[in-house]
Amino acid sequence: MRAIDWVDGAIEIVDQTVLPATLVTRRLTTVDQLIEAIRSLAVRGAPALGVAGAMGVALAAREFTGDAAARDRAVGRIAAARPTAVNLAAGASRAAGWLADGPGAVLAEALALRDEEIAASVAMATRGADLVGELCGGAARVLTHCNTGTLATVTGGTALAVVTELHRRGQLAGVIASETRPLLQGARLTAWELGRAGVPYRMAVDGAGPFLMARGEVDVVLVGADRVCANGDVVNKIGTYAHALGAARAGVPFLVVAPESTMDDETAGGDQVEIEDRGRDEVIAFHGTAVAPPGAGAANPAFDVTPADLVTAVVTDTRVLRPGRIGAGQPADR
């Protein structure tokens, strides 16, 4: 399965708004359809958003042939559809660099990015599983947050690819997937992916993570990232920071698994990153059912910043970084 691909002149996505109840593929043939899919999280997860951004520019190049100004506006709207994951704007920008060479060249670049993300997933799985083996010795009990599998990439995943690789190696003692309020990417998507892969898992409410670590039930935390800043700060789904604090307190390794396309050396630290605010409705209701009294206000930051000093390591497709040493001119550990 691929979460996103280019098929017969259009973007095809697995519609993540209706999982786990229904597995539906949607075809996106216009820039407006793509932007709606990105905003509604029908397509989501940093690497998948990068590919969506690049393929979106390929759509724009076709849709606005002969009107460069309209095309460029469309490219800008795609890049800005969600602000936090560095991959979206970076993917759009990379593909847009080929606009002068025509739609075919833009599409070729988007497909190259897709293929790079697929290869990156394979490399992260191996490197991440090796590191977990080193840190944990025997079979590991993993806690993960949000969804970082095939659905968040193209196929494979980041942190969840490490989980499935550990399972394949017989080095996984269990997975706790935190539900990931308010949109339940953990409960709806990660649980669905783990079930399909035959990986045993348990769900936990988000707030249980730090206590489960304190009680000795977790050997390692594996999460993805939407952006890793130059100083090693990790921007990821809201709730990640709480897990990192719990892991630090309990002495549990906290590993971030993200492709090189998510490394953002241009942004000094997490305080420079725009954190998407998704508004009140997602917090006070779920799928149309109220979970709070009418009139309740809400804070809804979709992401948080885990300071570099709480991160044991960042595993990419090419390196393992120790956060205190991430940044300009600093060599990777391996």
Q: Which residues are catalytic?
A: 226
Cβ at position 152, least distance to ligand MRU in Å = 4
Q: Token digits for 85?
A: 């994951």
Which pairs from 298-302 meet CB under 8 Å and 24+ separation?
A: 300/182, 301/238, 301/275, 301/276, 301/277, 302/84, 302/237, 302/238, 302/275, 302/276, 302/277, 302/278
Q: Which residues from 220-249 bind ligand MRU, rule CB under 6 A?
A: 224-226, 236-237
Q: Dmax of the chain from CA atoms?
A: 63
Instruction: Give burial (CB, 10 Å; 0-12/13-18/19+) of 169.
Output: middle
Segment interacting with ligand MRU, rule: CB under 6 A, options 5-13, 64-72, 202-210, 219-227: 219-227
CA separation for the pair 98, 81 (Å, rounded): 21
Segment interacting with ligand MRU, rule: CB under 6 A, options 63-71, 131-139, 152-160, 192-200: 152-160
Angle, to 10 degrees, between the axis of helix 46-63 and the axis of helix 68-79? 170
- Contact by Cβ (8 Å): 211, 178: no
- Contact by Cβ (8 Å): 112, 55: no
CA separation for the pair 290, 274 (Å, rounded): 28
Q: Which residues from 20-59 bind ligand MRU, rule CB under 6 A?
A: 41, 44-47
Which C-beta is closer to ligand MRU: that of 47 or that of 209?
47
Q: Token digits for 21?
A: 């109840």
Binding mask 160-189 for ligand MRU (x = CB under 6 A): -------------------------x----
Exactly one of 31, 55, 88, 152 binds ligand MRU (CB under 6 A); that residue is 152
Q: Does 146 bind ligand MRU (CB under 6 A)?
A: yes
Which C-beta is closer to ligand MRU: that of 106 or that of 306?
306
Binding mask 77-106 for ligand MRU (x = CB under 6 A): --------x---------------------
Within 8 A by CB and 6+ apart from 330, the residues are none
Cβ at position 240, least distance to ligand MRU in Å = 7
Segment interacting with ligand MRU, rule: CB under 6 A, options 7-15, 90-98, 144-152, 166-174: 144-152
Partners of residue 305 on adjacent β-strands: 235
Q: Does 210 bind ligand MRU (CB under 6 A)?
A: no
- List the one residue out of 39, 81, 36, 46 whose CA is nearest residue 240: 46
Exactly one of 33, 144, 155, 158 binds ligand MRU (CB under 6 A); that residue is 158
Which C-beta is closer to ligand MRU: that of 154 or that of 320?
154
Q: Does 148 bind ligand MRU (CB under 6 A)?
A: yes
Binding site for ligand MRU (CB under 6 A): 41, 44-47, 85, 146, 148, 152-153, 158, 185, 224-226, 236-237, 302
